[in-house]
Structure 1
Amino acid sequence: MVSVKRLGIAGIAAILFASTWTSAQVGRRFPSEKAIIPDPVTGVAMNVLTNGKQSDAKIYQTHPQWTSDGKWIIFRTAGRVPGSQAFAVNEESGDIVQLTEGSGNASNGLNVARKSMRLFFIRNDAVAKTETPPPPTTTPSAGTPTGAATAPSGPPKPKIDPVYQIIELDLARLLADALADAAKPAREYERICATLPADVRDAGSLAIDANEKVAYISIAGSDVGKHLPTGVEVWKKQYDMRMGTGPGGLRAVDLQTGEMRVVIDTAFKIGHVQTNPFVPGEIVYCHETGGDAPQRMYTVKGDGSGNRPLFVEGPDDWVTHEAVVTPDEVMFNLIGHQARLRKRPTGIAVVNLRTDAVNILGQIEERSPEDTNAANLPSQNAAGRDNYGGYWHCNGSPDGRWAVGDTFQGNVWLIDRKNGGMSLLSTDHKMKPDHCHPTFSADSKRILIQSGHFTDGKRLSLIVLPVPDAALAKK
């Protein structure tokens, strides 16, 4: 037996580090953190699934959150194990299960299949094969006690050319084995669907077709830009924008053969890509600039036909946070947080994919237009003193009955699309370190959000809000 005294602080730290790393494995179960807590203002019973002690985050509202059986919510975390990994939490029991391990996994681009118990994500295989857990060292830095373990030092790592793969994870087998305490190595549950060409330099947003046979992915490098229509100029970001310079590429990948083909090239860098989960071969994508894009939303068919702007914008329209919500509708926000924007219609809106008809469902103000007292401005003040607040992100129920929106103040509102009625559902979610991004369940009865409420905006909890029984009872 090795003496603890002989090991010293550094030796103990090394053992603890190694133990933590080796236990951070696919199928590992974590204790339930679930609690039912009433909203302090509305009284709505919040199903709090993670307690905020870790850094948890939901999938973006353009993509499914629940597994196809409706029992598990897929999310990512950067606190429970080394790196950012995918996890599942059981909505009823609160059981938490680790789904991925190691380096190179794009846990910020998780795709949960709607028809089967599968999860798809991108892995940078070059990173996964070259990055290993660094051992602690005993080189002290300023302010570190002598002999204490510190981060390793040395020359910077060489630049590694990416090797992007699309991975399929068998959730049915993995979750069943995890609950039986019989989890196998990760490779037993994973399948490499495709390895992208070596000259792809940026595998961005991933979306799975409604038929679950094809993936669509935004890329840079490779042959991107060579398929632009003649005469189209590449878009360059303007002074007040953080990103978006083109060209961009949208590609389709066969999930069985791994073959990649061109859908379209665009003059700008493509941001979020999503599919119509009800209609195979239909894609919605956006021009993401980090601000107000000149034209945000576009739609195209999976074969590259029918590419066109969706809701043609005017100079005073600020479109953001679009999501396909029904077979024929995309919901989005015409945000109105600035006085100049309120001179035009703003609020949560719906555009019909077949007719281009637009309907605005509702908007609120979170300060009086006459109020210039800085003390009365919302705490999340994205536009300085000129902030009227209002809806920021939105989503709709698949049955077409409901819309949900979070606001600049961090409140969540429910809109009845039958009569336009708006009701406050939940409050004070801080909108930091990230926004609520509310998303409906497939049965149209629950809404998943992420919230900084319990940590004063330092870390996020995952919360399921029910559509109130009284609202569901209304015809």
Structure 2
Amino acid sequence: MKTVFNTLFLLVTVASFSQIGTRFPSEKKIIKDPVTGQELIFLTTKSAGDSKTYPTHPQWTADGEWLIFRTKRANGEALAVNEKTGVMVQVTEGGYTGTLCMAQKSMKLYFMRNAGEDKMKVMEVNLDAVFKDSQAGKMKPVSAYERVCGITKAGMGASGDMALDANEDWVYFREGKEEAAKYLKPDVVIEKSFGPRNMGAGPGGIGSMNIKTGELKHVVSVPFQVGHIQSNIWNPGEIVFCWETGGKSPQRTWTVMADGSGLRPLYPEADYEWVTHEAVIGKDEVAMAIMGHRKIDIEKEAPVEAAKNGEIRNPVNPGQESNWGATGTREKPTGLAIVNLRTREMIIAGQTKSGSGLWHVHGSADGRWAVGDDFSRSLYLIDRKTNEMMMLTTGHKETAADHIHPTFNRDGTKIEIQSAMLSEDNRTMNICIVNVPKEWLNRK
């Protein structure tokens, strides 16, 4: 009885305190897609509220061996899963907020944590030490692995929408409206909410922190709501962000340098274009989706009147609300677009023949591949040299708690997605790897 009691106490203790370095057994399972026959490597399979970091950020650690993900299996802490063994290790203790930023030059993890009094702490975790001590079963107090890089000031309204610079000495984060307003000229017209989700109103801003000294700097203010802040991890000091409305934006994509110079639309879009889900994929390139998900209205005035009346055409999938206006149809070119940051040229790498069109997009840093999902949660790979497109996997359930969000690894050989394919409730998601087919990798 005493042994049973001690075992139960140990289990309750681990579940309650969620200590950094706690290990979870492998759930790794390899299956074949029932439609395409492609191999799907599920690194998690239990219903534990798993989700990947947003595709604007790296997913793998610097050594390429671990993937960091969000989960509820450790009281909402972040976990790392070893791609080869499937073993999982808890890598935070005390919670986090917003984006998990994996360094690519060192085995470090960065994120924000609430510091109280309207302040946020930027935290650093030494992943190398966590993994080694966890493997040895000799964990130290969390203070041995965590470091406070700095604390934002009260009133800044700093949030966890954060990105790590290519030099890994600064992080960029979203500022609140009051802070952003301090740096705008009095004659700047502040944008109002746009679309049926009542989002997009300004002002918005981006701040930065030196993670070695804690120094704070203001980067830029704009008259609209800022979202999806990401750094170009190949080019120091370059930032990409968006005008966030929850859907169609008057001008979605933006870029600016860390010193506040060079602010401009990344891709100047037309009123009829629905641009979304931009992601920096290489030193000079950003992938984005120009959506072709809405049916063409033969009577051109119909969508305008519908928008005035607040009617909804089809609430099943995002962006079908008529309140967005006449946009996102295939009357004009749509598809997976790639913009060159230097020449400003845009190409469309590919598009599905029907359906929603490509939705969340990414690409390999070497320029060989592009990838995108659609409303059916199918995943498509594109050969950028030949324009050939292949469906890699499908059937990841439209009822899933989130979208599959594909992201390439640094070598451009595999793609991480999140999938509800195995979930019994048709919502819970797992972490999954899809390899680029060998026959494509072997192409000259």
Normalization by structure 2: what TM-score?
Answer: 0.88
Shift of 1:202: 4.0
Aligned to 2:106: 116
The answer on 1:81 being equivalent to 2:110 is no
**Shift in CA distance, 21/34, structure 1 to aligned 2, threshold 3 Å:** closer
The answer on 1:48 being equivalent to 2:15 is no
User: Deviations for 1:398-442, whole angstroms, at most 9, x for unmatched residues?
Assistant: 111000111111110100000100011111112421001000001
Aligned to 1:247: 203
Unaligned runs of 5+ residues in structure 2 are 297-328
Q: Is the 8 A contact 1:397 1:442 kept in 2?
A: yes
The answer on 1:309 being equivalent to 2:302 is no
Q: Percent identity?
A: 45
* Correspondent of 2:387 among 393, 396, 420: 420
**Shift in CA distance, 359/239, structure 1 to aligned 2, threshold 3 Å:** closer
2: CA distance, partners of 1:221 / 1:318: 26
2: CA distance, partners of 1:183 / 1:221: 42
Residue-pair matches, total: 408
Aligned to 1:453: 421
* Correspondent of 2:351 among 351, 363, 367: 363
Aligned to 1:348: 336
Shift of 1:236: 1.1
The answer on 1:91 being equivalent to 2:83 is yes
Give the counterpart letter for 2:128 in structure 1: A
Q: Is the 8 A contact 1:48 1:462 kept in 2?
A: yes
User: Deviations for 1:141-169, whole angstroms, at most 9, x for unmatched residues?
Assistant: xxxxxxxxxxxxxxxxxxxx432010010
1: CA distance, partners of 2:100 / 2:267: 27
Aligned to 1:463: 432
Shift of 1:229: 3.6
Q: CA RMSD in A?
A: 2.0
Q: Is the 8 A contact 1:121 1:166 kept in 2?
A: yes
User: Deviations for 1:378-409, whole angstroms, at most 9, x for unmatched residues?
Assistant: xxxxxxxxxx3221101000111000111111
Q: Is the 8 A contact 1:119 1:169 kept in 2?
A: yes
2: CA distance, partners of 1:242 / 1:53: 33
Q: Is the 8 A contact 2:195 2:248 kept in 1?
A: no
Q: Is the 8 A contact 2:229 2:241 kept in 1?
A: yes
Q: Is the 8 A contact 2:157 2:179 kept in 1?
A: no
Paired residues for 1:60-459 under 5 Å? 60-78=54-72, 80-82=73-75, 84-103=76-95, 105-106=96-97, 108-126=98-116, 161-220=117-176, 223-340=179-296, 341-366=329-354, 388-431=355-398, 432-455=400-423, 457-459=426-428
SS of equivalent to 2:180: coil
Give the counterpart letter for 2:334 in structure 1: T
Shift of 1:446: 0.6
User: Deviations for 1:270-324, whole angstroms, at most 9, x for unmatched residues?
Assistant: 1010011100010001011011010000000111000000111111100000001
Shift of 1:118: 0.3
Shift of 1:21: 4.1
Q: Is the 8 A contact 2:373 2:406 kept in 1?
A: yes
2: CA distance, partners of 1:471 / 1:449: 19
Unaligned runs of 5+ residues in structure 1 are 8-13, 127-160, 367-387
Runs of at least 4 residues off by over 2 Å? 14-23
**Shift in CA distance, 239/69, structure 1 to aligned 2, threshold 3 Å:** closer
Bigger radius of gyration among the two: 1
Q: Is the 8 A contact 1:97 1:175 kept in 2?
A: yes
SS of equivalent to 2:174: strand
User: Deviations for 1:307-355, whole angstroms, at most 9, x for unmatched residues?
Assistant: 0001111111000000011111100000111024110111100011011
Normalization by structure 1: what TM-score?
Answer: 0.83
**Shift in CA distance, 239/363, structure 1 to aligned 2, threshold 3 Å:** closer
Aligned to 2:53: 59
Shift of 1:241: 3.1
Query: Which of 233-242 and 416-425 deviates more?
Result: 233-242
Q: Is the 8 A contact 1:202 1:221 kept in 2?
A: no
